[in-house]
Amino acid sequence: MKFGVVTFPGSNCDHDMIDSLRNDLGQEVIELWHKDKDLSKFSKEDCIVLPGGFSYGDYLRCGAIARFSPMMQSVIEFANKGGRVIGICNGFQILCEAGLLPGVLLQNGDQQFVCKNIFLKSENTVAAMTKDVTGRPLMIPVAHGEGRYYADDATLEGLFANNQVLFRYCDEFGNIVDAANPNGAMRNIAGICNSTRNVFGMMPHPERATSSVLGNTDGQLIFQSLINNNN
């Protein structure tokens, strides 16, 4: 399985992602530039990653300009043909702006940037990214100012009914409570996927939790689930 990691102007988690996938998880990684368009090296069993950061300075809205980059036109086409795409933090915002995922990421409820370890949990036994980690709380860092997931009631009901909710914020014991929600996201949503479950977005940073040197490898479990369920 190959991973392509896209760098936009203002990306600052691209090398974290590359290092995590290449050195901690032993995967083949190809670095991609936002002005390029060529994804011919990738099949739909591979995965394109949109990393965190502040693409194009977060002007207009987070991810609003990146959505129109040449590479994103190819990523959209790749996803619509069934290819796997992951957006982390700013990458999640870009996926929502591009219409590949429903909803939007708004300014945190307390209007403060949050940077800390949080806990999240998956109850989704269908999506490749969560199949192997369901039911257990994982400690994953967050670092964002606009991570409050919002969607209208009908969209939210559809996400839960169709197993599109990937992760929800929880406490260390796995309880999904308001006190564990770092940004005011609706229903504690930390990550979602599209209806065909090949496009994944999440605000927390699993690539920052894949090294024993950093004292946390919970993020490896998320990526490994995706790799293990590559079909």
Positions marked catalytic: 89, 205, 207
Question: What type of residue sits at position 179?
Answer: A
Q: Are 191 and 128 in contact (CB under 8 A)?
A: no
Residues 6+ apart with CB under 8 A from 115: 141, 142, 143
Q: Which token pair is 10? A: 């203002």
Q: How far apart are CA 69 and CA 97, in angstroms?
A: 12
Quote the radius of gyration of the chain (alpha carbons, Å). Answer: 16
Q: How far apart are CA 118 and CA 182, in angstroms?
A: 8
Q: Which residues, in sequence order, are bridge partners of residue 115?
A: 143
What is the rounded end-to-end Cα distance, in angstroms, of the chain?
11
Q: Are 21 and 207 in contact (CB under 8 A)?
A: yes
Residue 208: closest CA among 230, 197, 223, 192: 223
Residues 6+ apart with CB under 8 A from 92: 50, 101, 105, 191, 201, 202, 203
Q: How far apart are CA 193 and CA 58, in angstroms?
A: 23
